Chain A
Amino acid sequence: MTTGPVLVVDGLTTELRRTTATILEGVTFSIAEGETVAVVGESGSGKSMLALAVMGLLPRAIRRTAGSIVLGGTDLAALSAGEVRARRGRDLAMIFQEPLSALNPVMRVGTQIVEVLTRRRGLPSHAARAEAIRLLGRVGIARPAERFRAFPHELSGGMRQRVMIAAALAAQPRLLIADEPTTALDVTVQAQILDLLRDLKRDIGLALMLITHDLGVVAELADRVVVLYAGRVAEIAPATTLFDSARHPYSRALLASRPRAHGPRSALVPIEGAVPTAGTMPAGCRFRPRCSLATVSCASPPPLHAAGPDHLVACWAVQ
């Protein structure tokens, strides 16, 4: 990493208010300026929870109990709710999985971008309108002045996600969090949205935190990968390193479970069992019940340690 980090998350821990069962535990990673970090894991691994925790948008039932979220030198975890609100949209923005439900159905899409420009960037309304149309064009929407007046239901899924991206970029954030941005889209549209994100990353040096379970998306876009399992970081590595030589048994299993388009056809290898849920977490390493390499030492939680240059693994079997 040559430039300073935009985001440093350290020891982030969250729990359910009611049962005090932990969800995220000691999550630590960073994102450098212009870097794309993918957070991967199965459903229930805590990926989306991590995104919401960074945004300060955790559901009421969940609270952060420890850890810091340092964005551009300020610890968001130490700020009041109002101060975090003032940063949201300006310093960090987020796009969601379902662009249809994530857009207000009774508000014109142009207005949904303009409100960010007038209220967060303080542009006068005529300038905001021009800027919103420019942004719509920038995210690849044809005839942006016309589409400015459209309602979300009048647009295709891909266009809606482009609108979401335009609204997220409107306040010129340092960090964009994308939670499964292509999951709800058709395959061809997925590729277009990934292209758009790659362009934006290159052109405006946007730092991107990409939440996904799709390793194909990771290969397309990510510089580094954080593998999350049951709320803990299992492995952090540059994307190429992870694809070539993942060390954590869970990462390896995850890579083995994906279908391949090239090379010899082989059977898919599923990971037996399911991610434990909050409150039923095994003691020690949380992957132990599903791990073929488990030994007695796995009864205590493995620390994250170096397994190579810029490569961290939390596994007793990896030295």
Chain B
Amino acid sequence: MLVAFLFRRLGGAAVVFLLVSMLAFLLVWLIPGDAVAVLLDAAASPEETARLRAALGLDRSPLAQMLAWYGGLARGQLGHSLLLNRSVAEALLERLPITLSLTALALAIAVVFGTSAGVGAALAHGGWLDQLLMGVALFGLSVPDFWLGLLFIIVFALGLGWFPTGGFVPISESLAGWARSMTLPGLALGLTQMGFIARMARSSMLDVLGQDFVRTAEAKGLSRSRIILAHALPNAMVPIVTVIGIVTGALLGGSVVIEQVFSIPGVGRLIVGAILARDFPVIQGGLLFLAGVYLLVNLIVDLLYAVIDPRVRLA
């Protein structure tokens, strides 16, 4: 039953990916004016224009261009960057581990602290701890991540000197260096999403704690910790996991900005650079990459659902 469920979700994800790839393909036509004219300055000669047009394959019929695009996708090729001397796939893969490790760290911070804070607030419902935690969560939600990033740089990097102001140390080079370079950007990115998860975890937990089966568990004389950990939390996890899927999307988007703030050479910086330089193949590849990661995460979320809640497998 779980396998059938997985295949249904996989089919849905494939359709979305196909739509995104179509959008990426149309990008060249969607920008106002002629893509080639935008790339070159006004003084470019007609020969130069024609050469670039041919190099980009834009002189062919739309159908032929589409076939070439999907043909490349099928072989895992995303074309060549106009500016970087390498293929788009190479450029993306090079930076992939950096962005993924940043996003994963931020997600871990957001999920662990967000869920704990939300559950803690629910258990202390109406008390000072509840108000304190929700105040912090609201602050985290309200503050833009780049501002928090700049604040962290000023206080913890420039002021206290505990962390570098930016840059990236590969984990293969030095684990401690990697951790030091990732702490501030991970926190800046994760804390804003933590508030979101905390609020969801709190309301979900409060809802579950009021349900009949929690009273049944009380009637059985089970310990408070058993009731919370074995009965309430697994039921409260379903909405929290949903939010985790949404949060991952926000983190991927947020990493674009945070990579700029902390000068981290990740996919986000690559895409921003490509947009500024109108490096179309890289923009297209970046779009597909982000959509792919997002779909993958949501597929995992759907699977987690089915693992947590057996009723979902029927739907």
Instruction: List the interface of chain A (C-beta within 8 A of B).
Output: 55, 57, 85-90, 93-94, 96, 98, 101-107, 115-116, 119-120, 151, 153, 164, 167-168, 171
Q: Are A98 and B212 interface neighbours, CB within 8 A? A: yes
Nearest B-chain residue to A89, judged by Cβ = B221
**In the complex, chain B residues whose CB is within 8 Å of the CB of A119:** 222-223, 226
Knowing A96-B212, A107-B234, A153-B311, say if A57 contacts B219 (CB, 8 Å). Answer: yes
Tell me, in angstroms, the Cα distance from A218 to B221 when the chains sit together: 28
**In the complex, chain B residues whose CB is within 8 Å of the CB of A151:** 310-311
Knowing A106-B308, A115-B230, A151-B310, say if A101 contacts B211 (CB, 8 Å). Answer: yes
Knowing A102-B213, A115-B226, say if A93 contacts B219 (CB, 8 Å). Answer: yes
Contact with A along B195-223 (1 / 0, CB 8 A): 00000000000000001110111111111
Task: Determine if B309 is an interface residue (Cβ-Cβ < 8 Å).
Answer: yes
Query: What are 8 A-B contacts defined by CB distance under 8 Å?
Result: A85-B218, A93-B220, A102-B212, A102-B213, A105-B213, A106-B235, A107-B230, A107-B234
Tell me, in angstroms, the Cα distance from A101 to B310 when the chains sit together: 15
Task: Determine if B231 is an interface residue (Cβ-Cβ < 8 Å).
Answer: yes
Nearest A-chain residue to B126, judged by Cβ = A60
Tell me, in angstroms, the Cα distance from A156 to B213 when the chains sit together: 17
Tell me, in angstroms, the Cα distance from A168 to B221 when the chains sit together: 11
**In the complex, chain B residues whose CB is within 8 Å of the CB of A57:** 215, 218-219
**In the complex, chain A residues whose CB is within 8 Å of the CB of B211:** 101
**In the complex, chain A residues whose CB is within 8 Å of the CB of B217:** 104
Enumerate the 8 nearest inter-chain pairs by beta-carbon distance, A residue then B residue, closest first.
A89-B221, A88-B221, A101-B212, A89-B220, A94-B219, A104-B213, A151-B310, A102-B212
Other than the given A96-B215, A119-B226, 16 more pairs (CB < 8 A) read: A57-B215, A85-B221, A87-B221, A88-B221, A93-B219, A101-B213, A102-B213, A102-B216, A103-B213, A105-B213, A105-B235, A105-B310, A106-B234, A107-B234, A120-B222, A167-B216
Nearest A-chain residue to B311, judged by Cβ = A153
Q: Are A89 and B216 interface neighbours, CB within 8 A? A: no
A135 to chain B, nearest CB (A): 14
**In the complex, chain B residues whose CB is within 8 Å of the CB of A105:** 213, 235, 309-311
Most chain A CB inside 10 Å of its own CB: which residue of B213, B216, B220, B308: B220
Tell me, in angstroms, the Cα distance from A241 to B310 when the chains sit together: 50
Tell me, in angstroms, the Cα distance from A183 to B231 when the chains sit together: 25
Nearest A-chain residue to B213, judged by Cβ = A104
Tell me, in angstroms, the Cα distance from A253 to B199 when the chains sit together: 51
**In the complex, chain A residues whose CB is within 8 Å of the CB of B235:** 104-106
**In the complex, chain A residues whose CB is within 8 Å of the CB of B213:** 101-105
**In the complex, chain B residues whose CB is within 8 Å of the CB of A93:** 219-220
